[in-house]
Structure 1
Amino acid sequence: MQFVPLCTFVDASYWSEVNRRKLNEWKLEETPQPLGASISIYDCVGSDSRLSLSNESFLGSSVLKGQMILLNTVETFAKLDRKAMMNAEADGIWDSIVSGRWMNQPTTINTFIFTVFADLKKFRYHYWNCVPVLALADLSLKEQPQEMVEDESRVLLSHLEQSQQSVFVYSKGITLPLTAILTLQHEDYEIVVADPSTTPAVAGALCRNVILAVLWTTKRTEMRLISLRGGQVSWRFRINVSVPVTIRPSNVVGLERNGKDEMKPSSVDLSKQFHPHKLMEQAVDLNVSLIKWRLVPQLETTKFSQLKCLLLGAGTLGCNVARSLIGWGVRTITFVDNGVVSYSNPVRQSLSEFDDAQNGRKKAEVAADALRRIFPSIDANAVEMTIPCQDTLSIRKYESSIDSCVSLLHSLISSHDVVFLLLDSREARWLPTLIASSIGKLCFSVALGFDQYVVIRHGVTEEGRVEKEEGMTTMRGLVNASQLSCYFCSDVTAPGNSMAERTLDQQCTVARPGLSRIASGLAVELLSSVLQHIDPFVPPLGVERVIIRERKRLDY
């Protein structure tokens, strides 16, 4: 007797869910994961007999219960002993048959094992499905299959929809539970199986273990089967076996052939089918999520993706800070600058190009556009404005715009979570520092000299933040966040005009070209560490190591 094998159909939504769970939940685990599959009895003649997987397969409400084994390497996937796995699963099926559990839980005798290797970086997936079947060698048809009357088929389909039972008994126009076979005469009933087979007069693979279960339970050599189909004619079969089934069949089959009809795994490349923006988002999150697998399991990656960063200055430091932020998965960045890209900028400022200088484009606009080209899903914004500082306050031509600039700056700082001060002059940092401190925002300053740099995390002195630290003692080597200084705490006078009466080499930021990347990277890494604190506003500063390092340096 022949049967139509199942063909696994995997929807793209399934792989998308695998990506998410592998990165964020399973990580390096290779333990079997519960999985559900759906079948369709409404497919037309000539199509595949489908076992379908989608993102809903992880919800546990599907008709067919199975498991997925997701391997970490393609070598492990290739070497996996699937024959042994199928035999172990067949033992469970046989136990369900012998114990009689299958009559109350028919899903226990039709299962599957879906083995997978997922290359999350290239969006390539290798898979091989196994639907274990205990094969009876001498199974045969007593007579040719008969078409079922449409009215009877309609009654059975109605019962299937109402009961959601894929296997049941049909006796003299009445549907009954499977336990009825223990009391009914074998010629008085038929076993109904919701069958996804699309081949006329040939039953599907899901009927095989049901046939075995019935023959074992009734201890007979004959049974009658209905292959119930919704999209075509249903079929009646009279099946017999030469001798009663008394022992477990030794032959276990069910390993699926691929699309080339080879006994090999299937593979799919979805790099061109996923939306490019979604692919980019998953790829951006990949490296950050991988940190959680071994290195920092407690890393909270959502703190980066939900962060809103304000970058005051879109020059060399601003560009490099932005590149590091998106590397951590930050999705919202706003640039503030009033400058124009000059011909000397592109070689140092990683987000600008020659054309930007040639066209006299604004730095903030150029930086935001470049980020959107690099990562289309990012929310990158540009604000052109002159930040009020000591010298502009004294110039009449700025008087009309001072109030609006201060108001806009206050609004920008208020609407973001973190502020980076990346400006060319000391005085330009003064007002943002005051505003950030007054409303309790995280603020970081980065400044460059020729071969020196400064990276500062400003203290947060807003009343609500300080109250959280009440009762905290300043331990040896630790400084509470509220006691941290800002960029101007060591000044004895208000900042003046640092650009007046300066030669060209003093007006420009003359620094080692690699220094900005070092300082920018440290600033972002400092932020990444602070964010992992239970409250990012209050983590203390550890100074003991710095003191020890200075002492060692002095000893030399």
Structure 2
Amino acid sequence: MATADSETHNPLEPRIPKLQFVPFTSALDAGFWHELTQKKLNEYRLDETPKGIKGYYYNGDPFGLPARLTLEFSAFDVNAATPAHCCPAVGTLYNTNTFESFKSCDKKSLLEKAANEDLKKYRFYYWFCYPALCFPDGIPIVQQAVCLGERFSPTQIQALQKAYDELCQREGVTALPYFLIKYNDKSVLVSLLKNWNDFFQDQEEKVTVGVYDPCNFTQYPGWPLRNLLVMAAHRWGSHLHSVEVLCFRDRTMQGVRDITHSSIFEIKLPQMPQSPVDCPKAVGWEKNQKGGMGPRMVNLSECMDPKRLAESSVDLNLKLMCWRLVPTLDLEKVVSSKCLLLGAGTLGCCVARTLMGWGVRQITFVDNAKISYSNPVRQPLYEFEDCLGGGKPKALAAADRLQKIFPGVNAEGFNMSIPMPGHPVNFSEVTMEQARKDVAQLERLIDAHDIIFLLMDTRESRWLPAVIAASKRKLVINAALGFDTFVVMRHGLKKPKQQESGDSCSNNASGSADLLGSSLFSNIPGYKLGCYFCNDVVAPGDSTRDRTLDQQCTVSRPGLAMIAGALAVELMASVLQHPEGGYAVASSSDDRMNEPPTSLGLVPHQIRGFLSRFDNVLPVSLAFDKCTACSPKVLDQYEREGFNFLAKVFNSSHSFLEDLTGLTLLHQETQDAEGYGKCATTIIVTKKK
């Protein structure tokens, strides 16, 4: 383990033993690599500039252990406290971006250029250098090393220990790497290295230097002594012929402190060149595990928690997006979103997988269906075994599968029905009570989440969550499929209730003025945007009654749900990146050539796709003051009467909502206008005759 400086020996002269040194062995804690990963992804990114770093070494290890230089998670904070009884070792970290750059670095021109990590596999390549200058002809040993207990009396040892501790205490450090010593039979004095000239005033006085030595070998000192001797030779070598060295080793065994195993020896101090041009060569590169000159590699994938590895890897793609592509991306807004998926079918499965790709950690499913044999080929969260025995509940199976895919996700499923308009709730106690419980559960779920995805099969199943979410001011993302068409939209986000008192007119009566004044529907803020039901002039009802199988099922081209599901999540991400969130002004097709409002691009109100033409358009529509879901009359009735109002909607025909919102009157006025037009036409024709 010891290394000797190169020397040329004359066979006619007696061989004088030369001092050898034990090099450091790097000891890197797993926390160091984890912290380096986080620094690389979140802070350093592509920056290769040198970074300050701090490790430490300890001299109290049991005999036989190598002289270790340790780096742990706190190494990146050069101001962090050094552990007790340890000496700090400050250095420089050179972090390369590619393995090729790491291999091609010029180690002759750099004292340190190491640390490249394969973040996907948790493998790290590194190369340590502990730079030290060499004496050209080595360092002759005058007196061989012996244990301190053989040279010092117990009284002297106690005095040395006390003097060293008091000096460390005065300096406010846990350990001093170098110090000066003067001793006699009765006392021991120590001082700082900078006090050399004052401490050794007598030129004939024996010079003893102490070094906090991490090596356990009696005959060999550790690496920190090398540069101390070079400095001593350079500054005081002209009048100093020999130096006594005390390798201070502070070990605690079974609770008892012991420094008697420290070693003491004497060396002849060689002359050093005074010219900086003749600077001696430097050594210090650490050998690899095979004993050759080359980098080391550590693979932490086997010893680290697989869940932690998965979490780091899941976030890798997102963090890399922030390096060059989208440096202003606020990932936290997306990752921290709590998403409620109403529907765990084809759309629900696709939306959930895309949400996980964005790093979303909390996903909740609501569905009352069971997995059938036709589902697994189109719904990627299910397998054939899930269909057996009548099928597992979709919501529960989907949540379970998400956690199997990525244990870091907090997924939950609720096997429950959503009461719907046009689907009467019977007045038997059990059915009415169950409907009441389902409504209360849905209200709690919507209240506990940030983003509500409407991904159900029928139009009427979207009505109740649309009403509740509008009342609770939650961002709603809606996706619906046709055969080869789809619509993805965000519902208009109502203003907070405290702001509505003075804005009721602007929200409703002025809607028509906005419509007339802006033919392109430009600059419409989020609180004036329509919901899924705003374009309808009839209330939702039972859409599956008296329909054949192909009319009851959502029959779509197989790729349509994946496209719509992905766009729904991407729309959510874009909205969250806008400073105004759900209140952001809607982007339209005309904005495609303009400067995008967010780092991810546009924030449309709707995306309507036509797969047969492979085309998308971005329409914008205003909130309808007679909407059966989000109009003020509906929300006011729901907020005042709660379940009693909802029960009327469930148990009445669609005319109840149409009467409440004024759609019935609108229909009558339209019919009257059409009748008047026919009469007018008849009169004109008669006159012509």
- 228, 247, 257: which is aligned to 1:227? 247
Q: What is the CA-CA distance between 1:30 and the residue it aligns to?
A: 0.8
1:103 aligns to what? Answer: none
Kept in 2, the 8 Å contact 1:142–1:240? The answer is yes
Gaps of at least 5 residues in structure 2 are 1-18, 83-87, 252-258, 507-513, 594-606, 617-689
d(CA) in 2 for partners of 1:406, 1:152: 80
Shift of the 385–14 alpha-carbon distance from structure 1 to 2, 3 Å rule, reads same
Instruction: Determine whether 1:178 maps to 2:203.
Output: no
d(CA) in 1 for partners of 2:290, 2:410: 45
1:309 aligns to what? Answer: 339
Q: What is the CA-CA distance between 1:418 and the residue it aligns to?
A: 0.4
Kept in 1, the 8 Å contact 2:423–2:542? The answer is no
Kept in 2, the 8 Å contact 1:215–1:223? The answer is no
1:479 aligns to what? Answer: 524
- 448, 453, 456: which is aligned to 1:420? 453
Q: What is the CA-CA distance between 1:484 and the residue it aligns to?
A: 1.2
Instruction: Determine whether 1:285 maps to 2:315.
Output: yes
2:229 aligns to what? Answer: 211
SS in 1 for 2:27: strand
Q: What is the CA-CA distance between 1:478 and the residue it aligns to?
A: 2.5
Kept in 1, the 8 Å contact 2:130–2:285? The answer is yes
Kept in 2, the 8 Å contact 1:478–1:544? The answer is no
Query: C-alpha deviations, 1:466-523, integer Å up to 9, x for none?
Result: 67x999x999833211111100001112101101111000001100010000000001
Using structure 2 for the length normalisation, give the TM-score.
0.73
Q: Which amino acid aligns with 2:77?
A: L
**Identity across the alignment (%):** 39
Shift of the 516–409 alpha-carbon distance from structure 1 to 2, 3 Å rule, reads same
d(CA) in 2 for partners of 1:363, 1:143: 82
Q: What is the CA-CA distance between 1:464 and the residue it aligns to?
A: 5.2
1:94 aligns to what? Answer: none
Query: C-alpha deviations, 1:423-451, integer Å up to 9, x for none?
Result: 01000000100111111101010000000
Q: What is the CA-CA distance between 1:175 and the residue it aligns to?
A: 1.6
d(CA) in 2 for partners of 1:517, 1:506: 21
Q: Which amino acid aligns with 1:118?
A: E
- 50, 63, 67: which is aligned to 2:92? 67
- 381, 384, 398: which is aligned to 2:415? 384
Instruction: Determine whether 1:239 maps to 2:267.
Output: yes
d(CA) in 2 for partners of 1:481, 1:253: 66
d(CA) in 1 for partners of 2:540, 2:349: 26
Query: C-alpha deviations, 1:347-387, integer Å up to 9, x for none?
Result: 11111111111132100011001101100121100111110
Kept in 2, the 8 Å contact 1:477–1:543? The answer is yes
1:400 aligns to what? Answer: 433
Q: Which amino acid aligns with 1:168?
A: F
Kept in 1, the 8 Å contact 2:525–2:586? The answer is yes
Kept in 2, the 8 Å contact 1:159–1:175? The answer is no
SS in 2 for 1:516: helix
d(CA) in 2 for partners of 1:124, 1:364: 38
Shift of the 152–141 alpha-carbon distance from structure 1 to 2, 3 Å rule, reads farther
Q: Which amino acid aligns with 2:396?
A: E
Q: What is the CA-CA distance between 1:273 and the residue it aligns to?
A: 1.0
Kept in 1, the 8 Å contact 2:233–2:271? The answer is no
Instruction: Determine whether 1:375 maps to 2:406.
Output: yes
Instruction: Determine whether 1:409 maps to 2:437.
Output: no
d(CA) in 2 for partners of 1:188, 1:242: 17
Query: C-alpha deviations, 1:241-273, integer Å up to 9, x for none?
Result: 343552343211001111221111110111111
Q: What is the CA-CA distance between 1:44 and the residue it aligns to?
A: 1.9
d(CA) in 2 for partners of 1:431, 1:460: 16
d(CA) in 2 for partners of 1:125, 1:417: 39
2:480 aligns to what? Answer: 447
Kept in 1, the 8 Å contact 2:135–2:270? The answer is no
d(CA) in 2 for partners of 1:224, 1:296: 61
d(CA) in 2 for partners of 1:33, 1:330: 32
Query: C-alpha deviations, 1:177-233, integer Å up to 9, x for none?
Result: 222212313634422111101211211111111111122222434322211111361
d(CA) in 2 for partners of 1:227, 1:547: 73
Shift of the 245–225 alpha-carbon distance from structure 1 to 2, 3 Å rule, reads farther
Moved over 4 A (4+): 464-467, 473-476, 546-550
1:92 aligns to what? Answer: none
Instruction: Determine whether 1:166 maps to 2:177.
Output: yes
Q: Which amino acid aligns with 1:135?
A: C
Kept in 2, the 8 Å contact 1:215–1:222? The answer is no
Q: What is the CA-CA distance between 1:140 and the residue it aligns to?
A: 1.7
Q: CA RMSD for the aligned pairs?
A: 2.5
Instruction: Determine whether 1:6 maps to 2:24.
Output: yes
Shift of the 6–160 alpha-carbon distance from structure 1 to 2, 3 Å rule, reads farther
Q: What is the CA-CA distance between 1:58 and the residue it aligns to?
A: 1.5
Kept in 2, the 8 Å contact 1:306–1:330? The answer is yes
The range that moved more, 346-355 or 384-393, is 384-393
1:54 aligns to what? Answer: 72
2:373 aligns to what? Answer: 343
2:638 aligns to what? Answer: none
- 395, 398, 401: which is aligned to 1:364? 395
Q: What is the CA-CA distance between 1:540 and the residue it aligns to?
A: 1.4
- 525, 530, 537: which is aligned to 2:582? 537
How many residues align structurally? 526
Larger CA Rg, structure 1 vs 2: 2
Shift of the 418–160 alpha-carbon distance from structure 1 to 2, 3 Å rule, reads farther
2:85 aligns to what? Answer: none
Q: Which amino acid aligns with 1:325?
A: L
1:136 aligns to what? Answer: 135
Kept in 2, the 8 Å contact 1:288–1:328? The answer is yes
Kept in 2, the 8 Å contact 1:4–1:49? The answer is yes
- 24, 30, 48: which is aligned to 2:48? 30
Instruction: Determine whether 1:510 maps to 2:528.
Output: no
d(CA) in 2 for partners of 1:348, 1:465: 45
d(CA) in 2 for partners of 1:5, 1:160: 27
Query: C-alpha deviations, 1:131-156, integer Å up to 9, x for none?
Result: 11111123221221232234355336
Q: How does 1:268-279 map to 2 (within 5 A)?
A: 268-279=298-309
d(CA) in 1 for partners of 2:124, 2:425: 65
Query: C-alpha deviations, 1:267-318, integer Å up to 9, x for none?
Result: 0111111100000000100001100000000111122221110000000000
d(CA) in 2 for partners of 1:406, 1:263: 70
Q: What is the CA-CA distance between 1:465 and the residue it aligns to?
A: 8.9
